[in-house]
Chains A and B, each alone.
Chain A
Amino acid sequence: MSGQTKYSFCNKQKITRKTMIRGLHSQEDTVFWEKFVSGDDEAYAYFYQKYVKVLFSYGMRFTSDRELVKDCIHDVFVELYSKRPNLRHVNQIQAYLFISLKNELYTIFQKDKIVYYIDMQEPVFCIDYTTEEHLIAEEQEIEEQKKLRRILDSLTPRQKEVIYYRYIQGMELDEICKLMEINYQSLQNLIQRSIKKIKKTFDETGNTIQHVKKHMSIIKQK
């Protein structure tokens, strides 16, 4: 019961703050999108400039072929330009671009199965995590990094993909649903399973309380 209270309070906080952060951010996009669909080429350049890096990085999750990813980004933007009178309804721009790029890539993968499907069922989504160099100075830190790697390795490609959207791109659940072509409930389940897996691997890999305590003191100092 008291748990309920906690959540409702938490939700209120969440909404105001989230609308603050994402609201500002997407408001700018919405204004430019409006301009773009009514024929403004500057707004078109704005979206290219804003999203080309993140799109490239996203595309590289599916393949290591840089030129292929660039070709697909080319096609995404050319199509965007030619379809623009019909795009008035789009409101989650980043998600829309991600979906378009994923579709372009998958079309190529389908076409050139021999090249891209050598020994896998489907294109694998992979995450490399950053090695924050200032943190791995100590052996203990290296241990910690290894542990994270083990956790990530234990995830299926699909779980990695959802982690990427949720914890790296910070996307909303409904955006992820569209990207992964699954319904809300399945997405919830997928995230639940991923978290369980993370937790399990985390527990298995042993207790690092000592390290945690040290890390906490760093956080407190901040």
Chain B
Amino acid sequence: MMQNEISRKDDGKQYSFDDLFQDDNFIASQLSSEPESEAYWNEMLEKGLIDREDYTFACRFIRSVQVRPEFISDAEIFNLWVDIEVTNKANMKRKKKRYHIISIVSGMIALFALILSVRTIIPDNTSGFSPLFTTDARLEAGTDIQLYLDGNKPVSLGGREAKIAYNKENITINDNDIVLKKELSTDKKQTFHQLVVPWGKRSILTLSEGSRIWVNAGTRVAYPVDFDKKKREIYVDGEIYIEVSPDEQSPFIVKTTEMDVEVLGTAFDITAYEKDNAQRIVLVRGSVKVRTIHQENETILSPNEMYSFSNGISKIQTVKVEDHISWKNGLYHYNSEQLGVIMEHLSHYYGCSIVCSPKVSQMKFSGKLDLKDKLETILDGISQIASITYQYNQGVYIITNK
């Protein structure tokens, strides 16, 4: 069939000068020469379908007209990239600031609400997310872990890690270092406490009903001192890993800005930083039900599944759980992960800006990073095993090839 068409072409019209110049295939063959297409055009020449002079000229024209690429050095490319990244980060901060102003305003209203009528407002107030968090809590690296008790008196806890446990009468901190008497309010309504863990620190929190929460850096958690009989609700802005103590009579609900996660006896990791536009849940055991503010439908997750929610789009995928929860043991665990992703995690954890050159960010690493170390120690370690180097400049760590 093909053969037929070709032979018919033999006595057909020739490729004109125009035809050649208009032919996508001809242009493509000149821009990236391949044996296959060269053979095709040679065949056309042999058959006399193309005027040799036209063909030579067309080839020559296209090949010669190729512009001399303007030279931009690798250093220029890299510096431009750093500028772009710094601008992007500054833009994100500006967005964040705008959010803070809003939250301060709504926070003040909430403060009123808390003082005036704690007993009526808090339960069943599904839309009141941010108001539960105190406004003066600071997340910057270097500040202490803060525990906000009744009446917004924060207790500062030194060290990189704090253990806080609630039981029937007391709150114990760091295994009996400090014991606080629970001030049981005279009324029967719930009182909320709040734990604020700044960047670069972690905490382990045991709630009065027995659930254990590992609280990652840059995270705020608000929870009732004593839980309601019918349901248990906590509020999270940041990342936690939680092991929920089973109680069929009283469902456990984790609320974030975008989602409600209802727990059916389980352990899972939830990442929901208010400033990020992506929120994630990784389920380790049991099952959870997820409701987002944008969707009517509920989603039920199975173990080893990650539910992510970004820009109004939700997605479920199977993941290696260990990679997502190793931080609770003070480690980041990687298996052939891109350095760019690792640095993203570290910049989250330590609450600082890290910029990688594009080449560096594609290098892959496996292994464990100890989060008890200072960031510089980790970066020194990485630069000893790989050919990278870093410098600190105007609040940004810049990582480049050696």
Q: Chain A: residues with CB nearer than 8 A to chain B?
A: 2-3, 5-6, 9-10, 13-14, 17-18, 21-22, 38-39, 41-42, 45-46, 48-49, 52-54, 56-57, 60-61, 66, 70, 73-74, 77-78, 81-82, 85, 127-130, 132, 144-145, 148, 151-152, 163-164, 166-168, 170, 172, 191-192, 195, 198-199, 202, 209, 212, 215-216, 219, 222
Which of A21, A52, A215, A222 contacts B28 (CB under 8 A)?
A21
Assuming A17-B36, A127-B65, A222-B38, what are 16 further A-B pairs, CB within 8 angstroms? A2-B11, A6-B15, A13-B40, A17-B37, A21-B28, A38-B315, A57-B70, A61-B67, A82-B91, A130-B68, A132-B64, A145-B64, A148-B61, A163-B65, A168-B65, A170-B27
Could you say which of B11, B21, B22, B52 has the most chain A C-beta atoms within 10 Å of its C-beta?
B21
Which of A6, A21, A163, A191 contacts B13 (CB under 8 A)?
A6
Collect the chain B residues with CB atoms within 8 Å of residue A129's CB: 64-68
CB-nearest residue of chain A to B339: A42
Complex: how many Å from CA A5 to CA B5?
7
Interface flags for B3-17 (1: CB within 8 Å of A; 0: not) read 001101101110101
Cross-chain contact A216 with B52 (CB below 8 angstroms): yes
- 26 intermolecular pairs with C-beta atoms under 8 Å apart: A2-B9, A3-B12, A3-B13, A5-B8, A9-B2, A9-B9, A14-B23, A18-B25, A38-B310, A38-B311, A39-B278, A42-B340, A45-B362, A46-B358, A52-B80, A54-B69, A56-B70, A70-B80, A81-B84, A85-B277, A130-B64, A132-B63, A152-B65, A167-B30, A168-B67, A219-B59
B1-59 residues with Cβ-Cβ distance < 8 A to A are 2, 5-6, 8-9, 11-13, 15, 17-18, 21-25, 27-28, 30-32, 34, 36-38, 40, 49, 52-53, 56-57, 59
Chain B interface bracket (under 10, 10 to 19, 20 to 34, 35 or more):
35 or more
> How far does the Cβ of B384 sit from chain A's closest Cβ, in whole Å?
24
Collect the chain B residues with CB atoms within 8 Å of residue A57's CB: 67, 69-70, 72
Which of B6, B28, B311 contacts A17 (CB under 8 A)?
B28
Interface: B400 (CB within 8 A): no
Cross-chain contact B60 with A144 (CB below 8 angstroms): yes
Cross-chain contact A127 with B61 (CB below 8 angstroms): no
Main secondary structure of the interface of B (DSSP, over half): helix
Complex: how many Å from CA A164 to CA B65?
8
> How far does the Cβ of A198 sit from chain B's closest Cβ, in whole Å?
7
Which of A85, A167, A199 contacts B311 (CB under 8 A)?
A85
Collect the chain A residues with CB atoms within 8 Å of residue B101's CB: none
CB-nearest residue of chain A to B15: A6
- A-B CB proximity, top 10 nearest: A2-B12, A3-B13, A60-B70, A49-B358, A14-B25, A45-B358, A85-B311, A56-B72, A57-B70, A170-B31
Cross-chain contact B56 with A212 (CB below 8 angstroms): yes
CB-nearest residue of chain A to B341: A42
Complex: how many Å from CA A152 to CA B65?
8
Collect the chain B residues with CB atoms within 8 Å of residue A164's CB: 67
Interface: B183 (CB within 8 A): no
Complex: how many Å from CA A57 to CA B248?
66
Collect the chain A residues with CB atoms within 8 Å of residue B23's CB: 10, 14
> How far does the Cβ of A152 sit from chain B's closest Cβ, in whole Å?
7
Collect the chain A residues with CB atoms within 8 Å of residue B362's CB: 42, 45
CB-nearest residue of chain B to A9: B5
Collect the chain B residues with CB atoms within 8 Å of residue A212's CB: 52-53, 56-57
Interface flags for B62-92 (1: CB within 8 Å of A; 0: not) read 1111111110100011001101100110010
Complex: how many Å from CA A99 to CA B118?
57
Collect the chain B residues with CB atoms within 8 Å of residue A61's CB: 67
Cross-chain contact A195 with B77 (CB below 8 angstroms): no
Interface: B359 (CB within 8 A): yes
Interface: B344 (CB within 8 A): yes
Complex: how many Å from CA A42 to CA B364?
12
Complex: how many Å from CA A73 to CA B25?
31
Complex: how many Å from CA A42 to CA B36?
35
Collect the chain B residues with CB atoms within 8 Å of residue A82's CB: 88, 91
Complex: how many Å from CA A132 to CA B84?
36
Complex: how many Å from CA A13 to CA B40?
10
With A39-B278, A212-B53: A128-B13 Cβ-Cβ less than 8 Å: no
Cross-chain contact A39 with B311 (CB below 8 angstroms): yes
Collect the chain B residues with CB atoms within 8 Å of residue A22's CB: 28
Collect the chain A residues with CB atoms within 8 Å of residue B34's CB: 21
Which of B22, B53, B341 contacts A195 (CB under 8 A)?
B22
CB-nearest residue of chain B to A2: B12
Interface: B361 (CB within 8 A): yes
Interface: B385 (CB within 8 A): no
Collect the chain A residues with CB atoms within 8 Å of residue B18's CB: 192, 195, 199
Interface: B172 (CB within 8 A): no
Collect the chain A residues with CB atoms within 8 Å of residue B8's CB: 2, 5
Interface: B383 (CB within 8 A): no
Could you say which of A42, A53, A145, A163 has the most chain B C-beta atoms within 10 Å of its C-beta?
A42
Which of A78, A130, A198 contacts B87 (CB under 8 A)?
A78
> How far does the Cβ of B288 sit from chain A's closest Cβ, in whole Å?
22
Complex: how many Å from CA A11 to CA B347?
53
Which of B31, B64, B313, B359 contacts A49 (CB under 8 A)?
B359
Which of B53, B81, B87 contacts A48 (CB under 8 A)?
B81
Cross-chain contact B72 with A52 (CB below 8 angstroms): yes
> How far does the Cβ of A140 sit from chain B's closest Cβ, in whole Å?
13
Collect the chain B residues with CB atoms within 8 Å of residue A222's CB: 38
Which of B30, B32, B40 contacts A21 (CB under 8 A)?
B32
Collect the chain A residues with CB atoms within 8 Å of residue B17's CB: 195, 199
Cross-chain contact B80 with A5 (CB below 8 angstroms): no
Complex: how many Å from CA A130 to CA B80?
27
With A17-B36, A38-B310, A46-B358: A166-B5 Cβ-Cβ less than 8 Å: no
